[in-house]
Amino acid sequence: MNNLYMPELALVEDIKEETSNIRTLTISLKSRKPFSVLPGQFVELTIFGYGEFPVSVSAVLGPTRDRLQTTIQRIGKVTKETANLSVGSTIGIRGPFGNGFPLAEMKGKNICIVTGGVGLAAVRYLINYIIENRDHYGKLQLLHGARTPGDLIYKDFLFNNEEAQEQGIEILLTVDQPDAGWEGHVGVVTELFKRTTLDPVNTMAVVCGPSIMMKFATQCLANMGFGDDQMLVSMERRMQCGMGMCGHCMVGQKRVCLDGPIFTYGSIKDALERAF
Protein backbone atom coordinates (compact mmCIF):
# COMPACT_ATOMS: atom_id res chain seq x y z
CA MET A 1 0.00 0.00 0.00
CA ASN A 2 1.66 3.21 -1.18
CA ASN A 3 -0.04 6.04 0.72
CA LEU A 4 -0.21 5.09 4.39
CA TYR A 5 -2.44 8.10 5.15
CA MET A 6 -5.17 7.00 2.73
CA PRO A 7 -7.14 3.81 3.28
CA GLU A 8 -7.52 1.46 0.35
CA LEU A 9 -10.94 0.11 -0.47
CA ALA A 10 -11.50 -3.48 0.59
CA LEU A 11 -14.31 -6.02 0.54
CA VAL A 12 -15.55 -8.22 3.37
CA GLU A 13 -15.47 -11.68 1.79
CA ASP A 14 -16.48 -13.77 4.78
CA ILE A 15 -17.57 -13.38 8.40
CA LYS A 16 -17.24 -15.96 11.15
CA GLU A 17 -18.92 -15.40 14.49
CA GLU A 18 -16.38 -16.44 17.12
CA THR A 19 -18.41 -15.39 20.19
CA SER A 20 -21.38 -13.16 20.94
CA ASN A 21 -19.23 -10.04 20.48
CA ILE A 22 -16.20 -11.20 18.48
CA ARG A 23 -16.13 -11.93 14.76
CA THR A 24 -13.41 -12.81 12.28
CA LEU A 25 -13.48 -10.96 8.96
CA THR A 26 -11.88 -12.24 5.77
CA ILE A 27 -10.92 -9.20 3.70
CA SER A 28 -9.54 -8.62 0.20
CA LEU A 29 -8.46 -5.41 -1.47
CA LYS A 30 -10.65 -4.30 -4.36
CA SER A 31 -7.43 -3.97 -6.35
CA ARG A 32 -6.69 -7.66 -5.55
CA LYS A 33 -3.15 -6.76 -4.58
CA PRO A 34 -1.42 -9.22 -2.26
CA PHE A 35 -0.88 -8.38 1.40
CA SER A 36 2.71 -8.12 2.58
CA VAL A 37 2.33 -8.54 6.33
CA LEU A 38 4.59 -10.09 8.97
CA PRO A 39 3.25 -11.98 12.00
CA GLY A 40 2.77 -9.42 14.76
CA GLN A 41 2.04 -6.45 12.52
CA PHE A 42 -1.33 -4.69 12.47
CA VAL A 43 -3.59 -2.74 10.14
CA GLU A 44 -6.03 0.13 10.55
CA LEU A 45 -9.58 -0.68 9.46
CA THR A 46 -12.02 2.06 8.46
CA ILE A 47 -15.76 1.80 8.91
CA PHE A 48 -16.84 4.64 6.66
CA GLY A 49 -18.90 7.23 8.46
CA TYR A 50 -17.69 6.12 11.89
CA GLY A 51 -13.89 6.07 11.99
CA GLU A 52 -11.00 3.63 12.09
CA PHE A 53 -9.29 1.38 14.61
CA PRO A 54 -6.12 -0.73 14.81
CA VAL A 55 -6.35 -4.50 14.78
CA SER A 56 -3.86 -7.33 14.47
CA VAL A 57 -3.63 -9.53 11.41
CA SER A 58 -4.61 -13.07 12.37
CA ALA A 59 -3.95 -14.72 8.99
CA VAL A 60 -2.96 -14.09 5.38
CA LEU A 61 -4.62 -16.56 3.01
CA GLY A 62 -4.47 -17.84 -0.52
CA PRO A 63 -1.63 -18.82 -2.87
CA THR A 64 -1.22 -15.17 -3.87
CA ARG A 65 -1.73 -13.88 -0.28
CA ASP A 66 -4.60 -11.67 -1.41
CA ARG A 67 -6.92 -12.31 1.54
CA LEU A 68 -6.40 -11.17 5.10
CA GLN A 69 -8.16 -12.22 8.27
CA THR A 70 -8.62 -10.14 11.38
CA THR A 71 -10.55 -10.88 14.56
CA ILE A 72 -12.43 -7.98 16.13
CA GLN A 73 -13.98 -7.60 19.56
CA ARG A 74 -16.82 -5.09 19.65
CA ILE A 75 -15.90 -2.92 22.64
CA GLY A 76 -15.81 0.68 21.36
CA LYS A 77 -17.84 3.11 19.28
CA VAL A 78 -16.23 2.16 15.97
CA THR A 79 -15.62 -1.54 16.57
CA LYS A 80 -19.28 -1.93 17.54
CA GLU A 81 -20.16 -0.94 13.98
CA THR A 82 -18.53 -4.12 12.69
CA ALA A 83 -21.72 -5.86 13.85
CA ASN A 84 -23.47 -4.15 10.92
CA LEU A 85 -20.98 -5.40 8.32
CA SER A 86 -22.06 -8.20 6.01
CA VAL A 87 -20.42 -10.17 3.24
CA GLY A 88 -19.84 -7.72 0.39
CA SER A 89 -19.52 -4.63 2.62
CA THR A 90 -16.90 -2.06 1.62
CA ILE A 91 -14.43 -0.98 4.27
CA GLY A 92 -11.05 0.77 4.27
CA ILE A 93 -7.67 -0.57 5.25
CA ARG A 94 -4.31 1.09 5.96
CA GLY A 95 -1.02 -0.56 6.69
CA PRO A 96 0.56 -2.83 7.65
CA PHE A 97 2.19 -0.98 10.54
CA GLY A 98 4.61 -1.79 13.33
CA ASN A 99 7.28 -4.37 13.87
CA GLY A 100 6.52 -8.06 13.68
CA PHE A 101 7.92 -10.93 15.71
CA PRO A 102 11.70 -11.49 15.40
CA LEU A 103 11.26 -14.65 13.37
CA ALA A 104 14.96 -15.07 12.59
CA GLU A 105 15.90 -14.85 16.28
CA MET A 106 13.16 -17.33 17.18
CA LYS A 107 14.40 -19.96 14.72
CA GLY A 108 15.71 -23.13 16.31
CA LYS A 109 14.07 -22.32 19.65
CA ASN A 110 11.14 -23.75 21.55
CA ILE A 111 8.20 -21.34 21.58
CA CYS A 112 5.74 -20.98 24.47
CA ILE A 113 2.77 -18.71 23.73
CA VAL A 114 0.66 -17.46 26.65
CA THR A 115 -2.55 -15.61 25.80
CA GLY A 116 -5.77 -14.42 27.37
CA GLY A 117 -9.09 -13.59 25.73
CA VAL A 118 -8.90 -11.98 22.31
CA GLY A 119 -5.12 -11.68 22.77
CA LEU A 120 -4.94 -15.01 20.96
CA ALA A 121 -5.84 -13.17 17.74
CA ALA A 122 -2.60 -11.18 17.88
CA VAL A 123 -0.51 -14.38 17.78
CA ARG A 124 -2.67 -16.58 15.53
CA TYR A 125 -0.65 -15.56 12.45
CA LEU A 126 2.58 -16.38 14.31
CA ILE A 127 1.22 -19.84 15.12
CA ASN A 128 0.30 -20.33 11.45
CA TYR A 129 3.78 -19.25 10.39
CA ILE A 130 5.49 -21.69 12.76
CA ILE A 131 3.23 -24.52 11.56
CA GLU A 132 4.09 -23.71 7.93
CA ASN A 133 7.80 -23.65 8.83
CA ARG A 134 7.64 -26.39 11.45
CA ASP A 135 11.14 -27.80 10.81
CA HIS A 136 12.73 -24.48 11.77
CA TYR A 137 11.31 -24.35 15.30
CA GLY A 138 11.38 -26.58 18.34
CA LYS A 139 8.55 -27.41 20.72
CA LEU A 140 5.44 -25.25 20.33
CA GLN A 141 3.13 -24.69 23.29
CA LEU A 142 -0.01 -22.60 23.57
CA LEU A 143 -1.43 -21.76 27.00
CA HIS A 144 -4.70 -19.90 26.59
CA GLY A 145 -7.32 -18.65 29.01
CA ALA A 146 -10.76 -17.08 28.63
CA ARG A 147 -13.40 -15.82 31.01
CA THR A 148 -15.95 -18.51 30.07
CA PRO A 149 -16.09 -21.35 27.51
CA GLY A 150 -18.36 -19.14 25.43
CA ASP A 151 -15.63 -16.52 25.23
CA LEU A 152 -13.13 -18.86 23.56
CA ILE A 153 -12.25 -17.87 20.00
CA TYR A 154 -10.93 -20.16 17.24
CA LYS A 155 -12.71 -23.17 18.75
CA ASP A 156 -12.12 -25.30 15.64
CA PHE A 157 -8.39 -24.84 16.16
CA LEU A 158 -8.29 -25.09 19.96
CA PHE A 159 -10.32 -28.28 20.25
CA ASN A 160 -8.91 -30.22 17.30
CA ASN A 161 -6.56 -32.43 19.30
CA GLU A 162 -5.74 -34.72 16.39
CA GLU A 163 -4.65 -31.85 14.17
CA ALA A 164 -2.68 -30.26 17.02
CA GLN A 165 -0.74 -33.49 17.50
CA GLU A 166 0.00 -33.71 13.77
CA GLN A 167 1.26 -30.12 13.81
CA GLY A 168 3.31 -30.65 16.93
CA ILE A 169 1.43 -28.20 19.16
CA GLU A 170 0.65 -28.67 22.84
CA ILE A 171 -2.53 -26.72 23.65
CA LEU A 172 -3.64 -26.15 27.24
CA LEU A 173 -6.87 -24.27 27.97
CA THR A 174 -8.49 -22.79 31.06
CA VAL A 175 -11.53 -20.67 31.89
CA ASP A 176 -12.34 -18.50 34.88
CA GLN A 177 -16.01 -19.46 35.02
CA PRO A 178 -16.96 -22.92 33.69
CA ASP A 179 -20.36 -23.89 32.36
CA ALA A 180 -22.09 -27.23 32.81
CA GLY A 181 -20.36 -28.76 29.80
CA TRP A 182 -16.82 -27.64 30.55
CA GLU A 183 -14.49 -30.50 31.45
CA GLY A 184 -11.19 -28.64 31.26
CA HIS A 185 -9.11 -26.68 33.73
CA VAL A 186 -10.65 -23.85 35.76
CA GLY A 187 -8.52 -20.93 36.91
CA VAL A 188 -6.24 -18.21 35.61
CA VAL A 189 -3.94 -18.92 32.69
CA THR A 190 -0.76 -18.79 34.78
CA GLU A 191 -1.92 -21.94 36.60
CA LEU A 192 -1.33 -23.82 33.35
CA PHE A 193 2.42 -23.47 33.85
CA LYS A 194 2.11 -26.20 36.49
CA ARG A 195 0.44 -28.55 34.00
CA THR A 196 3.23 -28.66 31.43
CA THR A 197 6.99 -28.96 31.20
CA LEU A 198 8.51 -25.59 30.44
CA ASP A 199 12.29 -25.27 30.30
CA PRO A 200 13.69 -21.74 29.74
CA VAL A 201 16.80 -23.17 28.07
CA ASN A 202 16.57 -22.41 24.34
CA THR A 203 12.97 -21.22 24.73
CA MET A 204 11.25 -17.93 23.91
CA ALA A 205 7.92 -16.96 25.45
CA VAL A 206 5.26 -14.81 23.81
CA VAL A 207 2.64 -13.09 25.98
CA CYS A 208 -0.49 -11.21 24.89
CA GLY A 209 -3.72 -10.47 26.72
CA PRO A 210 -5.26 -8.18 29.33
CA SER A 211 -2.81 -6.06 31.36
CA ILE A 212 -3.22 -7.98 34.60
CA MET A 213 -2.71 -11.30 32.85
CA MET A 214 0.45 -10.04 31.11
CA LYS A 215 1.80 -8.74 34.41
CA PHE A 216 1.48 -12.05 36.24
CA ALA A 217 2.47 -14.18 33.24
CA THR A 218 5.76 -12.33 32.80
CA GLN A 219 6.41 -12.52 36.55
CA CYS A 220 5.83 -16.28 36.53
CA LEU A 221 8.09 -16.73 33.52
CA ALA A 222 10.82 -14.67 35.18
CA ASN A 223 10.51 -16.80 38.32
CA MET A 224 10.98 -19.90 36.17
CA GLY A 225 14.25 -18.54 34.86
CA PHE A 226 13.27 -16.75 31.67
CA GLY A 227 15.49 -13.77 30.94
CA ASP A 228 14.01 -10.39 30.06
CA ASP A 229 14.97 -10.81 26.40
CA GLN A 230 13.48 -14.31 26.22
CA MET A 231 10.00 -12.86 26.72
CA LEU A 232 8.14 -11.10 23.90
CA VAL A 233 5.04 -9.03 24.67
CA SER A 234 2.44 -7.79 22.20
CA MET A 235 1.02 -4.37 23.04
CA GLU A 236 -1.37 -3.95 20.11
CA ARG A 237 -4.35 -3.11 22.31
CA ARG A 238 -2.84 0.25 23.33
CA MET A 239 -2.73 1.79 19.85
CA GLN A 240 -4.94 4.23 18.01
CA CYS A 241 -3.64 6.11 14.94
CA GLY A 242 -0.96 3.57 14.07
CA MET A 243 1.52 6.19 12.89
CA GLY A 244 3.02 7.68 16.04
CA MET A 245 1.11 10.96 15.77
CA CYS A 246 -1.63 10.85 18.41
CA GLY A 247 0.49 9.79 21.40
CA HIS A 248 -2.29 7.52 22.65
CA CYS A 249 -0.05 4.45 22.70
CA MET A 250 2.92 5.89 24.62
CA VAL A 251 4.35 3.53 27.23
CA GLY A 252 7.21 5.40 28.84
CA GLN A 253 9.26 6.73 25.92
CA LYS A 254 8.06 4.00 23.55
CA ARG A 255 5.44 4.52 20.88
CA VAL A 256 3.79 1.13 20.59
CA CYS A 257 2.68 1.63 16.98
CA LEU A 258 6.17 2.53 15.76
CA ASP A 259 8.55 0.88 18.23
CA GLY A 260 6.32 -2.19 18.61
CA PRO A 261 3.76 -3.59 18.93
CA ILE A 262 6.12 -6.50 19.63
CA PHE A 263 8.70 -5.78 22.34
CA THR A 264 11.16 -7.81 24.32
CA TYR A 265 10.12 -7.60 27.95
CA GLY A 266 13.53 -6.17 28.82
CA SER A 267 13.14 -3.22 26.44
CA ILE A 268 9.88 -2.08 28.01
CA LYS A 269 9.99 -3.63 31.49
CA ASP A 270 10.18 -0.46 33.61
CA ALA A 271 7.45 1.32 31.67
CA LEU A 272 5.22 -1.73 31.79
CA GLU A 273 5.48 -2.02 35.55
CA ARG A 274 4.19 1.55 35.84
CA ALA A 275 1.50 1.00 33.18
CA PHE A 276 0.24 -2.22 34.81
Does 220 show up as a binding residue in the annotation?
A: no
Name residue 230's amino acid.
Q
Q: How far is CA 37 from the centre of its chain?
A: 14
Nearest to 43 by CA among 20, 17, 25: 25
Contact 152, 173 (CB under 8 A): yes
Contact 186, 174 (CB under 8 A): yes
Does 257 show up as a binding residue in the annotation?
A: yes
Sequence-distant (6+) residues with CB within 8 A of 132 are none
Which of 187-214 are b and which e, b meaning 16 or more Cβ less than 10 Å from the residue's Cβ? ebbbebbeeeebebeebbbbbbbeeebb
Does 112 show up as a binding residue in the annotation?
A: no
CA angle 267, 268, 271 (to 5 degrees): 145
User: In sequence order, what are the beta bridge partners of 97?
Assistant: 42
Does 241 show up as a binding residue in the annotation?
A: yes
Binding-site residue numbers for [2Fe-2S] cluster are 241, 246, 249, 257
Binding-site residue numbers are 241, 246, 249, 257
